[in-house]
Amino acid sequence: MNLSIDVGNTRVKAAVFEMDMLVEVYVFEKSRIISEVKKIIKKYKVTQVILSSVVLIPLKKVEKLQKLTDFIMVSSKIKTPFKNLYATPHTLGVDRIALVFGAVIKFPKKNVLIIDAGTCITFDFLNKNSEYLGGAISPGIEMRYKSLHLFTSKLPLLAINKPNNFIGNSTNESIDSGVVNGVIQEIEGVIMQYKKKYLDLTVVLTGGNTNFLSKQLKSSIFANQNFLLEGLNEILIFNKNK
């Protein structure tokens, strides 16, 4: 059994795999990573663990994880089946590496745009020659709500809410319309830009806001909330066979 761990900006997601088959997904707080991973390893007799983190994990915690079982921590130096043409590969987020890795395995010889809608919204493009060209980074939905509240004196902090109308009839409705419709139009616009250049484009939507956004997007997409975890598992399998 394999265990993929994604330490994000707000929480930890983990998934157990039997080869490439997803068995179970867990979500927990970053402070509980050691205790939760121990439980999962014991329950499923996990033999290999892979971890990617967009935040700094204390060295002592990493050392504890390394002692539990065979352990890989994703970095920009990990072996990949795609050519990384990013101008600053050492700055490329490990989460984005995992997403592109998943794309090259699951959609071979295809032009793929991966959209990860989480704390930030990232756009990553892999061409049909298995070359990673880069993409874009944009504020996520929650970040936009928080920014409106933090950088103004009177606008309230709202939870994510699907607007009932494009024209907001109150301050709260106007915020919902501006944030949510703004994100939808941004994503649709980016997809359209890529499709103008790459007609046979495959689009993958993933991340914490996948379910919320997928119902509102008009473009044809593959919605998979666990795509990053699957990408991590593919890294584990790929590097084991090397």
CATH number of the domain to which 47 belongs: 3.30.420.40
Give the residue from 96, 15, 21, 18 showing the smallest Cα distance to 53: 96
Measured CA distances, 92 to 61, 72, 122, 124 (Å): 23, 18, 11, 11
What's the domain range around 111?
83-232
Question: CB-hemisphere CA count at 13 Å for 92?
Answer: 25
pTM of the model: 0.91
Tell me, yes or no, whether 222 and 197 share the same domain.
Answer: yes
Domains in the chain: how many in total? 2
Digits of tens for pLDDT over the chain (242 positions)? 999 999 988 889 999 999 889 999 999 988 888 889 999 999 999 999 999 988 887 778 888 888 888 888 898 888 899 999 999 999 999 999 999 999 999 999 999 999 999 999 999 999 999 999 999 999 999 999 999 999 999 999 999 999 988 899 999 999 999 999 999 999 999 999 999 999 899 999 999 999 999 989 988 889 999 999 999 999 999 887 65
Active site residues: 95
Residue 240 forms part of a structural domain? no
Tell me, yes or no, whether 47 and 98 share the same domain.
Answer: no
Tell me, yes or no, whether 110 and 194 share the same domain.
Answer: yes
Tell me, yes or no, whether 131 and 215 share the same domain.
Answer: yes
